[in-house]
Amino acid sequence: MIDFEFEPQVVNQTRMYHSVAEQMMRPISREYDEREHEHPWDFWRAMWAASRNLGPAADSGKADKSADGAPKLRNLYTCLSTEELCWGDAGLFLSIPNPGLGGAAVAAAGTPAQKARFLKRFAEGEPKWGAMAITEPGCGSDSAAVTTTATRDGDHWVINGTKIFCTAGQMAAEKSEGFVVVWATVDRSAGRAGIKPFVVEHNTPGMTVVRVENKLGIRASDTAMIVFDNCRVPADHLLGSAEVKPTGGFKDVMATFDATRPIVAAMAIGVGRAALDFVRDYLTEQKIPVRYGVSPRRLTAVERDFMEMETHLKAARLLTWRAAWMLDMGMRNNLEASMAKAKAGRAVTLITQKAVEMLGPVGYSRKILVEKWMRDAKINDIFEGTQQINLMIVARRILDYSSKELN
């Protein structure tokens, strides 16, 4: 028998995160959507203790064991807390000081010593951010085509290139002992195998935030363009080995995404659930019933739409839980992570658009947050691999085709 029940302590913790979302995030959600480039420092300081438990799990690809030998479900529990906090506000969630995508890259590609060194700082002290820089002006979804270079010069690497759409890039590059993990090629002739990740500490000379984007949604979170101009980092800031192997390089990029895509899917589920809950409450207030167990032919259009929204959300959640659980078990979850990300991104887009439609003019107005959730939703169908890229990955894994055979 399949059992989806969680331990009482996990349920209690999830309720605590929901209370945070309801009491701390919802009240300032509209404010920081409108004040996009202002920083909610009071909220950040209040959330700092919780933020240290919200990043991706430590070691992608290896099962994390508890004292009694049972696997720790850190990734799965992170998905639970992420859903609750994004029910409150996805932009504020992304802005919370935490290791972020940079920490996920360290976890996926770094040596044990590097993980201890670079991630330890998030366990204590002032709020800190981690960011990842991979997308370039001429390199979007095809992450293997990066042109940023890293050249060895004695005991340092010299990085040159431009990165765009770096989530939390401004805070990680300029504030409180943060860092940016930048992906650069050490050998262009090696193609994907030559791509390596480098940790660039905040305020490193040669790393400059040149622009912070104005965005459609998740406006409380900064999204930065960062230029690396002869940016020198110590040799030991290259994560993992400097050796170029046919099976290396881009594999570390994908390992990072395998850990973060379930988190992004959980974000989408949180936003979608916020919209669904609002519509449910609205229908109840208007005394419009949703009749379960009735023949589909007898349902109203509203009932059919609402049930379809619920179905999409629940399917996305189960796919997400499976992908996160597999990572916790030390199993390869490349296929499942892409399935969860693709489904959740599509589901939240459909759910929030339908919510605006069902609510009519009030759903489109700024009187309530539904229109904001629709704007916040779309990014989940884009970052961490677009819908099309994730569906292509799913097809390749199911059909066992290489990228050259199916592109």
In order, the DSSP letters of 195-219 are EEEEEEETT-TTEEEEEE---SS-T
Residue 64 in this model has a pLDDT that exceeds 60: no
CATH number at residue 175: 2.40.110.10
Helix, strand or coil for residue 249?
coil
Say which of 83, 84, 336, 384 is annotated catalytic.
384
> pLDDT tens-digit profile of 145-163?
889 999 999 999 999 999 9
Choose the final residue of a domain: 237, 269, 294: 237
> pLDDT tens-digit profile of 257-293?
899 999 999 999 999 999 999 999 999 999 999 999 9
Does residue 72 sit in the same domain as residue 23? yes
Q: Is residue 265 in a domain?
A: yes
Does residue 46 sit in the same domain as residue 173? no
DSSP-derived secondary structure letter, 176: T
Q: Which helix (H) or strand (E) holds 270?
A: helix 250-285
Does residue 256 sit in the same domain as residue 344? yes
Does residue 221 sit in the same domain as residue 362? no
Question: How far from 205 is each of 185, 230, 406, CA to CA, in Å?
Answer: 20, 8, 42
Does residue 352 sit in the same domain as residue 254? yes
Residue 296 in this model has a pLDDT that exceeds 80: yes
Does residue 144 sit in the same domain as residue 213? yes
Does residue 192 sit in the same domain as residue 333? no
**Number of domains into which the chain is organized:** 3
CA 147 – CA 321 distance, rounded (Å):
35
Choose the final residue of a domain: 237, 263, 287: 237
Tell me which residue of 318, 296, 320, 298 sits closest to 308, measured CA to CA. Answer: 296
Q: Is residue 47 in a domain?
A: yes
Average pLDDT over residues 346-352: 97
Q: Is residue 168 in a domain?
A: yes
Q: Is residue 178 in a domain?
A: yes
CA 1 – CA 4 distance, rounded (Å):
10
Does residue 64 sit in the same domain as residue 19? yes
Burial of 160 per CB tally in 10 Å (0-12, 13-18, 19+): middle
Question: Taking the model in full, what pTM does it have?
Answer: 0.91
Give residue 60's pLDDT: 41
CA 222 – CA 218 distance, rounded (Å):
9
Q: Is residue 208 in a domain?
A: yes
Helix, strand, coil distribution of the chain in percent, nearest 5 = 55, 15, 30
DSSP-derived secondary structure letter, 136: B
Give residue 384's pLDDT: 87
Domain around 162? 130-237
Residue 403 in this model has a pLDDT that exceeds 80: no
> pLDDT tens-digit profile of 316-340?
999 999 999 999 999 999 999 999 9
Cα Rg of the chain (Å, integer): 21
The amino acid sitting at 25 is: M
Q: Give the percent of the chain with pLDDT over 90.
A: 71
CA 352 – CA 293 distance, rounded (Å):
25
CA 38 – CA 41 distance, rounded (Å):
9
Q: Is residue 110 in a domain?
A: no
Does residue 25 sit in the same domain as residue 47? yes
Q: Is residue 39 in a domain?
A: yes
Choose the final residue of a domain: 213, 237, 261: 237
Tell me which residue of 81, 35, 34 sits closest to 55, measured CA to CA. Answer: 81
Contact 88, 29 (CB under 8 A): yes
Give residue 252's pLDDT: 67
Does residue 34 sit in the same domain as residue 90? yes
Average pLDDT over residues 9-38: 95
Q: Is residue 244 in a domain?
A: no
Contacts for 75 with CB less than 8 Å, ≥ 6 apart: 56, 57, 259, 262, 263, 324, 325, 327, 328
Q: Which residues of 208-222 are buried (b: 16+ CB within 10 A; e: fewer)?
A: ebeeebebebbbbbb
CATH number at residue 284: 1.20.140.10
Residue 99 in this model has a pLDDT that exceeds 80: yes
Does residue 193 sit in the same domain as residue 280? no
Tell me which residue of 140, 213, 224 sits closest to 180, measured CA to CA. Answer: 224
Q: Give the percent of the chain with pLDDT over 70.
A: 90
> pLDDT tens-digit profile of 163-175?
999 999 999 999 7
Tell me which residue of 386, 333, 335, 336 sits closest to 61, measured CA to CA. Answer: 333
The amino acid sitting at 40 is: P
Residue 309 in this model has a pLDDT that exceeds 90: yes
Does residue 394 sit in the same domain as residue 282? yes
Burial of 97 per CB tally in 10 Å (0-12, 13-18, 19+): buried
Residue 247: both structure tokens together? 């099976």
Q: Which helix (H) or strand (E) holds 1?
A: none
384 is catalytic: yes
Contact 88, 218 (CB under 8 A): no
> pLDDT tens-digit profile of 212-255?
999 999 999 999 999 999 999 999 999 998 888 776 656 667 77
